[in-house]
Structure formats: C-alpha cells, structure tokens
Amino acid sequence: MKILVTGGLGFIGSHTVVELQNEGFEVVIIDDLSNSSENVLDGITAITGKKPVFEKLDLREKAKVQDFFKRHSDLDGVIHFAASKAVGESVEKPLLYYENNLGTLVYILQELSKKERASFIFSSSCTVYGQADKLPITEDAPVKKAESPYGNTKQIGEEIISDTCKVTPSLQAISLRYFNPMGAHPTVKIGELPIGVPQNLVPFITQTGVGIREKLSVFGDDYPTDDGTCVRDYIHVVDLAKAHVEALKRLMAGDNEKNYEVFNVGTGKGSSVLEVIESFERVSGKKLNYQIVDRRPGDVVSAYADTAKANTILGWKSQSTLDEAMKSAWEWEQKSRTN
C-alpha cells in the first residue's frame, strides 16, 4: 500500500512516517521545508532502514499538485499534516493561514475524488472544541467559535471533508482531533525542533532547561484548576503517530460505518502547566527557571480528551506517561544541541 504523507518531515509527520514504514507501508513524503529540514529524512532512514521517497513541493501550487497525483496514480491514501500551525501568527496573517491550510486541502481532495477508492486522514485539533462545557471532552461536544484563524482552519477543514464525503462515496476519511503532542522517538533520531521561538509549552521548557531561553513564562496562576494553571492533555508523539496507522487500517479494511468519522486522540488525563514543569524537573534533575505572569488572552482553562471512541473502535490507546514523554523530549533537546 502506497501512502502520501504531506508535511512528512515535520514533528508529527515524521513520527507517523516511521510507524507506517514499520508496518510495511510504502511512503511518499511531500514537504515544502518551511518549518522542517530535509535532514529529518536521515533520522527516518536510520530508524526504519528504509528511505522514503521525498518531493519538495508547495501544495499551494495547484498545477504541481495535479502533476504529482498524475505521476503517483497508484497512491492508496493520504495523511495530510501540511499546514501552518502558529496561533499567534494566524491572528497576524489570517489570509496566509486560510490559503495554506484550506486551499491545499481542497486541491488534494479534488485529486482524491477522481480515484475509484481513496483513504484520507486529516490532522485536526482539539482547538475545535474551545472551552468545552463538560470534561473530559467527547467527539459529540459542540464545536465552539474558533479563537484564532488557525483554529478556524481546522473547523472549516473538517466541514470541507465532511461535505466532500457526502457526495463522494469512493472517498473514505477520518479526522483525528489531537490534544497536545510532545516527546521524541525513543531512538532520539527524530523529535520536535521548532524554528524560531517555540509556540508550545514543552519545547519552551526544554529550551529553557538547556539554556537557550532565559526563563519560562507561566501565563496565570489564578485559573479555576487545582494549582491555578491551565490544564491540557499531553500525548507522546509516538502514541499519536500509531493512532494514524490504526485509523488508516480501518479505512483500508472498509471497517468504517460511515465514509467520514472523527476521533479524539489524547491520553484522557489532564496535566497543569506546573505539573508539566514538575515532570521536567523530575526527569532532568534540574530546577527550571520560570515566572508567573499575567494570563494570556484566549487561553482555554482546561481541555482533556475522552478517548473511549478511539480505544473501542480503532483499538488504540496511548501507552506513555507524562514523565516518559518528557524524558524523550529532554533527551532529544540535549542531543539536537550537541550535533
């Protein structure tokens, strides 16, 4: 089976390519290298013993997307990660995000709709829920008005896929709503290496721990949570990658009851910002330099997943603890700074 992974040299994409190749899938990667490096190919190859096919391509160029699908007419499916993902930047550059995250999705679906049968997995996000009314969050929770253009692209993206599937029975699709990915591959050959200032908590913690950042700002300690800091569901990136493989197997086996389904992918457990800091201090043996500052506008108080649907239907469950995920993130940070 031949699978296209867009954004396959990024953080989640690269780990998913590894799991796909470990399961015997033939993988083709498209990446424009705007937030990744071609060196990641070496890490994937070192882990799996097989170098995936790679094409540098900007998916916003429709003619090149059409040409790619003509040259790879034997593709069985697509896992679509390629997207801009910085919430703050999306507020400043909304049109860039709508073009990059939605135009590219449309071009890919147009090509897949021409095939007799195709499987499609979309990289969605728990941001579609906003501040949920009930915790843990199930897939039936209402989708709230997005807090940012980035979040809106995930909501609209799901709507585009749903509408397309209604009129295209040959297209089998699943949206995976991620919570908060972290960590690195246990070999420490691939991991998260943000370009510029990290947008996520864990790489900011590890960069502070290794001395790149002077200190970590904790945005607010007066939220209605046990320790006053925001709560999120942190999932090891390898567990997340394996969820994509299980979702793909479901589509290819024809086990899906509908040709469009949605699944939460998380651990089912919430951890506060201070608990994540304590995890880092445990696994690293270092005290982290952090400071409590004012709340950040738009931050959700608490969000963690109900994963029963994925556990039951996909037969998937997260395996790693917060400390295990943090330990791999810290080992990756140290290694990546010494190379």
150 is catalytic: yes
Distance CA 154, CA 321 (A): 27
Distance CA 273, CA 44 (A): 31
Distance CA 245, CA 143 (A): 26
Cis peptide, bond prior to residue 136, ω within 30 of zero: yes
Nearest to 8 by CA among 31, 27, 33, 40: 31
CB 331 within 8 A of CB 192: no
Residue with tokens 């400043």: 92
Nearest to 288 by CA among 201, 225, 227, 182: 201
Please tell me which residue in 97, 107, 129, 150 is annotated as part of the active site: 150
Distance CA 196, CA 212 (A): 11
- Burial of 279-295, coded b for 16+ CB within 10 Å and e otherwise, reads bbeebbeeebebeeeee
Q: Which residues, other chains included, contact 53 with Cβ-Cβ below 8 Å and sequence gap of 6+?
A: 27, 28, 29
Catalytic residues: 150
